[in-house]
Amino acid sequence: MGGKLISGALFLTILGTLLLLPPLANVFQLQRRFFGLPAELIYLFACWGVLIAAAFWLSRRLPREAEAEPRNEDDT
């Protein structure tokens, strides 16, 4: 299942980039406030929070090396 998760990680990275840059970021330039806060502020922090949560989820599932990483101590 590692392959799909890695694709997921790549997708998340690209999606995050797209969400935070124009033109998508401009969609929420509403000049309106929700809960007293500007819409774009809520949008950016919400995206940010979702990205962090998704990264947390992925970080526990992305494949691990079976053994310890090669540390060069005795790889002759």
Partner 1 sequence: MLSSELVIAIAIGYVGLLFLIAYVSDRLTRSGKAAFLHSPFVYTLAISVYCTSWTFYGAVGSAARNGLEYLAIYLGPTIVFIGWWFILRRLVRISHNQRITSIADLLSSRFGKSSRLAVLITIIAVIGIAPYIALQLKAVTSSIHAISRVGSGSIGGIDEVSLALAVAAGMALFTILFGTRNVDAKEQHLGVVAAIAFEAIVKLAALVATGIFVIYVGGGLEAIFSRAEAAGVDIYSIGTFDDRWVAMNVLSAAAILCLPRQFQITVVENSNENHLRTASWAFPGYLLLVSLFTLPIALFGLTSMPAGTNPDMFVLTLPLAAGHEGLALFSFIGGFSSATSMIIVESIALSIMVSNHIVMPLVLRFTQGRGTVRGQGVSQLLLNSRRFSIAVILGLGFLYFYLTRDSNALAPIGLISFCGVAQFLPSILAALFWREATLKAATAAVAVGFVVWAWSSFMPSFAGSSTLVAGIMAQGPWGLTWLRPEALFGLTGIDPLVNVVFWSLFLNTLTLVVVSLLTSPSALERVQAGLFIDLFRPSTSGSPSVIRGSATAHDLFFVAERVLGSTRATALFADIPPDPPPQFIDRLERELAGSVGAASAHVMLSKVVSGDAISIEEVFKMAGETRQAIEYSQELERTSEELRSTAAQLENANLKLRELDGQKDEFLSQVSHEVRTPMASIRSFSEILLEDDLSEGQRHRFVSTIHQESLRLTKLLDEILDLSTLERGERPWENVSVDAEAALERAIDVCAPLAKRRNMQIVVGPRAGRATIEGDADRLCQVLINLLYNAIKYNDAPEPMVQARSRCSRGRYVIEIADNGPGIAKADRKLIFEKFSRGQSGVPTPAGAGLGLAISRQLVERMNGKLELVPSPDRGACFRVTLPLLSR
Binding site for partner 1 (CB under 8 A): 6, 9-10, 12-13, 16-17, 20-22, 25-26, 29, 31, 33, 35-41, 44-45, 48-49, 51-56, 58-60, 62, 64-65, 69-72, 75-76
Helix 2-20 and helix 39-59, axial crossing angle in degrees, nearest 10: 160
CA 43 to chain centre: 15
Closest to partner 1 by CB, 1 or 36 = 36
Minimum distance from CB of 2 to partner 1 (Å)? 10
**Residue among 1 and 69 whose Cβ is closer to partner 1:** 69
Q: How far is the CB of 1 from partner 1 (least distance, A)?
A: 14
**Residues 5 and 63 sit within 8 Å (Cβ to Cβ):** yes
Q: How many CB atoms lie within 10 A of CB 43?
A: 19
Q: Rounded CA gap, 53 and 61, in Å?
A: 13
